[in-house]
Amino acid sequence: MKICMIGTGYVGLVSGVCFSDLGNDVICVDNDIIKINNLKKGIIPIYEPGLEELVIKNYKNGRLKFSQNLKESINKSDIIFICVGTPTKKNSNAADLSQIFNVARKIRSSINKYKIIITKSTVPVTTGDKIEKILSLKKSKKLFSVVSNPEFLREGEAIRDFSYPDRVVIGTNDKKSNKVLKNLYSPLISKGAKYINTSRRAAELIKYASNAFLATKITFINEIANLCEKTNVNVEDISIGMGLDKRIGGRFLRAGPAYGGSCFPKDTRAITNTADRFKINLSLIKSVIKSNQNRTLLLLSRVSEILKGKIKNKKITFLGVTFKANTDDMRDSSSLTMIPSLLKKGAKIRYYDPTGEKKEFNRLNNLTFSNNIKAALINADLVIIHTEWNDFKSINFKKIVNKKNFIIYDMRNIYSASKMKKDRIKYFGVGR
């Protein structure tokens, strides 16, 4: 099939590459010229395990192309996926759909024959209706179908998630597009993915409801972890004990910092905003958002407690600053709040992240990036393990930190508390 992916970010690039790997002809389009030129040279704009090899392989065999020419790419394709960003609107909880509608208008001026136009971006329920309206302004309805096909991949596991999804959701009442898309996804369906055909609005809402539910699950265990800390209970026992119940399931039940990333924070806000517009109060999700915001403040006050209120001039090392491991994505990472707040209180901070230095911290004083774990740790008073990279799982802290009485605050519980005690290291975890 001939596919055009509009927006070559985390979702568009990964899905585009994977579709080409399944034997389709794919053109990935972006209006970021530098990104497109780099991709043509084999330079990948994001950190995603396994992506580089797959891009190079499919680019070389000619099934994957990169372009900034939207009109030409649309003309050459039968299936158009919209994968542009839907961030939070400034001073509002609503999703900013300007990139989506901008693309819809560009598609309108480009289509010459029948195309299936699919939103893979996460968009509020009824957005497909609005895209259809934009397209219908100048084009006959016979020239297009607007379908919703939300994407559920996770950064860091994106290729595996795309290739072995639990389900493929196709939102359309149009039999013709449903048939084409079922065919497109047939290699994944034959590997066990469930294929669900719903109304377009239902598909749009399935995505938000899923993300809101997962965010709730994380927030739930984070709150239980607070109770565990006060009652001398290990939250990991709770996670295992609860997770073994098939009705609950163990995933997304690990206590840690506030959830972050490019999806949960913005999507929980957007769904409550959408519901408000329909005069429905999603009070549970609103509480989750609030609890998650408080979580960062709570962990910060824990840092203060651990340092007995003496943060000034303390050397603090952050291991990992992205919102989770195996990604370079800094969007809504809790480190973006924690680091400036600790700096304000006089801490001197070093950080190491396997995905390199972060531009988000460029202008902060008393913050330095170390380009290896050793350099980051030496002489630290407090080590904060902020993300759960494998690189951080077997560090000989005593040898590297080389200082008496240093403290570890393991926000991901990746070390054994009893082993730390045996090694006489002052160690704090989360919910235990």
Which residues make up the interface to ligand NAD (CB under 6 A)?
Answer: 6-12, 29-32, 35, 70, 83-86, 99, 102-103, 121-122, 151, 153, 155, 262-263
Name 25's bridge partners: 2
Contact (CB, 8 A) for 380 and 404: no
Cα–Cα distance, 397 to 142 (Å, whole number): 65
Amino acid identity for residue 367 in this structure: L
Contact (CB, 8 A) for 400 and 378: yes
Tokens 């340092």 label which residue? 307
Contact (CB, 8 A) for 44 and 55: yes
Angle value at C-alpha 100, between 185 and 182, nearest 5 degrees: 15
Amino acid identity for residue 88 in this structure: T
Calculate the alpha carbon distances from 406 to 302, 349, 391, 402 in Å.
16, 14, 20, 9
DSSP letters for 120-175: -S---TTHHHHHHHHHHTTS-GGGEEEEE------TTSHHHHHHS-SEEEEE-S-H
Query: H or E element: which one contains 351?
Result: strand 348-352
CB of 158 to ligand NAD, least distance (A): 7
13: left (phi over 0), alpha (psi -120 to 50) or beta: alpha
Calculate the alpha carbon distances from 44 to 47, 76, 83, 89, 111 in Å.
7, 24, 17, 28, 30
Amino acid identity for residue 11 in this structure: V
Whether 263 is catalytic: yes
How many other CB atoms are found less than 10 A from the CB of residue 242?
16
Sign of the alpha-carbon torsion through 263, 266, 272, 277: negative
Tokens 């609107």 label which residue? 89
Nearer to ligand NAD, 122 or 334 (CB): 122
For ligand NAD, the nearest residue by Cβ is 9
**79-82, strands of its sheet edge to edge:** 64-67, 25-29, 2-6, 79-82, 115-119, 144-148, 167-171, 194-198
Amino acid identity for residue 357 in this structure: E
Calculate the alpha carbon distances from 231 to 184, 221, 226, 295 in Å.
53, 15, 9, 19
Active site residues: 263
